[in-house]
Amino acid sequence: MASQRSSAGGVSTDKLLERRKLVARTGIVHALDVDNLSRAILIAKSVEPYVDAIKVSWAVMELGCKEVFYEVRRSVNLPIIADFKVADIPEISSRIVQKAIKLGADGVILQGFVGEESMKACIEEAHRYNGITFVVTEMSHSGAELFMQPVGAKIAELARELGSDGIIAPATRPERTREYRRIVGKDLIIMSPGVGAQGADVGDAIKAGADFEVIGRKIYEAENPGEAAKKLSEKMSLVRMELPSSRLSS
C-alpha cells in the first residue's frame, strides 16, 4: 500500500492530503478505535453516510499515522480527527500536532491541563497547516471529576482566548457540557464523547449544547456497524430537529 502513494484511484496524494472541513450534518463523530486496518476501513465505509468525521487514536500504534490516515482518507470523504490528547512541553506538543496534520489529520485533540504555552503552541501549529484543534476540558470517565473538573472551566476559557476551534466536554455529564457551552460561547465547536458504551444516550450532549457526539464501541462493536450508525443518526436527527435553527447553523 505504502508504495502506491503517488495516486489513489486517480486522485493525487497532494489532493488526498488537502484539509477537509468538519461540517455538522449528522452530529456524530465515529471513534474508529479498531486496529485491524482492513476491518477499520470496512467500518469507515459503512458508517460514512451517517457520521461527520472519523476520530482515530491508539489504533495507529502498530501501522503508524502515515498508513492509517492515508487509507482512511482514500476510502471515505470525511475529515480525520487525531485523538492523541497531546500533553507535552510546547516544543514537543507542537511537533506532534504538525506531524499528525502533515500525515493526514484535519484536526487534533490536545489536553488543556498542560497549560497555556503548550495549548498555544499546538493551536498555532495546527492553524499554520490549516488544521483545527480541540482542547480537552474535562474527560468523560468518572476519574476526571477529581483532577480535571475543578480546572475545566479555566481550560475552556483559555482554549477560547487562544483561538482553539473547539473543546472536548463530557456527554456523560451533560450539565458540565452546558456549563462549557456557556463559557466558550457559540463560536467554538463542542465535541462530546461518552455516548453508548460509557452510558450517555444519543442526543444528551447535543441537547446540552454540544455540536458533535463521539460514538465508538456502540458502532464498531455492533454486528452491523453501518446499521448501528444509521439508527444512531436517525435518533440524533430527531434531537437536532428540536434545536433552535441558530444552533444548527454554527
Query: Mind telling me the catalytic residues?
Result: 85
Considering only residues 1 through 30, tell me which ones interact with ligand NUP, judged by CB under 6 A.
none
Taking the C-alpha atoms of residue 57 and residue 25, their distance in angstroms, rounded to an integer, is 23
Considering only residues 143 through 182, tell me which ones interact with ligand NUP, judged by CB under 6 A.
168, 170
What does the buried/exposed string (b/e) look like for 43-75 if buried means 16 or more CB atoms within 10 Å of the residue's CB? bbebbbebbbbbbbbebbeebebebbbbbbbbb
Q: Residue from 99, 160, 217, 235 that binds ligand NUP (CB under 6 A)?
A: 217
Contact 59, 53 (CB under 8 A): no
Helical (H) or strand (E) element with 28 = strand 28-31
Contact 135, 112 (CB under 8 A): yes
Q: Shortest approach of ligand NUP to residue 4 CB, angstroms?
A: 29
Q: What is the C-alpha end-to-end distance of the chain, expressed in Å?
A: 38
Residue with cell 492530503: 17
Q: Shortest approach of ligand NUP to residue 2 CB, angstroms?
A: 25
Q: Is 225 one of the binding residues for ligand NUP (CB under 6 A)?
A: no
Q: Is 193 one of the binding residues for ligand NUP (CB under 6 A)?
A: yes
Pick from 58, 52, 126, 122: which is nearest to 88 by CA? 122
Q: Shortest approach of ligand NUP to residue 17 CB, angstroms?
A: 23
Binding segment for ligand NUP (CB under 6 A), chosen from 89-97, 196-204, 223-231, 235-243, is 196-204
Say which DSSP state 141 is in: S
Q: Smaller CB distance to ligand NUP: residue 101 or 200?
A: 200
Q: Is 235 one of the binding residues for ligand NUP (CB under 6 A)?
A: no
Q: Is 214 one of the binding residues for ligand NUP (CB under 6 A)?
A: yes
Q: Is 83 one of the binding residues for ligand NUP (CB under 6 A)?
A: yes
Say which DSSP state 195 is in: B
Q: Is 216 one of the binding residues for ligand NUP (CB under 6 A)?
A: yes
Q: Is 199 left (phi over 0), alpha (psi -120 to 50) or beta?
A: left
Interaction site with ligand NUP (CB under 6 A): 31, 33, 57, 83, 109, 136, 139-140, 168, 170, 193-194, 196-198, 214-218
